[in-house]
């Protein structure tokens, strides 16, 4: 399975520190460690489709902020 393109998503809200370890919602190979700066994301083409989880610190830097 390929990872989704970060250009298909946008950040919503402010970045925050992860409270518990997890995996990135965009790339399952990226780990989220407790205390990492992460962000909630939504689909850029259809914000009504829910995206569960958060983007890791690496993907957070790549994703544009919502317009």
Cβ neighbour number for residue 44 with a 10 Å cutoff:
16
pLDDT at 65: 85
SS3 (DSSP) at 14? strand
pTM, full prediction: 0.83
pLDDT at residue 6 tops 70: no
Q: What's the pLDDT tens digit per position in 8-22?
A: 899 999 999 999 999
Residue 6 carries which DSSP code?
A: G
Percent of the chain with pLDDT over 90: 78
């Amino acid at each position: 399975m390929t990872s989704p393109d970060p250009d298909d998503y946008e950040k919503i809200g402010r970045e925050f520190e992860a409270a518990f370890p997890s995996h990135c919602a965009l790339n399952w190979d990226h780990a989220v460690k407790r205390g990492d700066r992460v962000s909630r994301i939504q689909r850029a083409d259809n914000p009504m489709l829910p995206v569960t989880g958060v983007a890791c610190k690496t993907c957070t830097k790549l994703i544009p902020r919502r317009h």
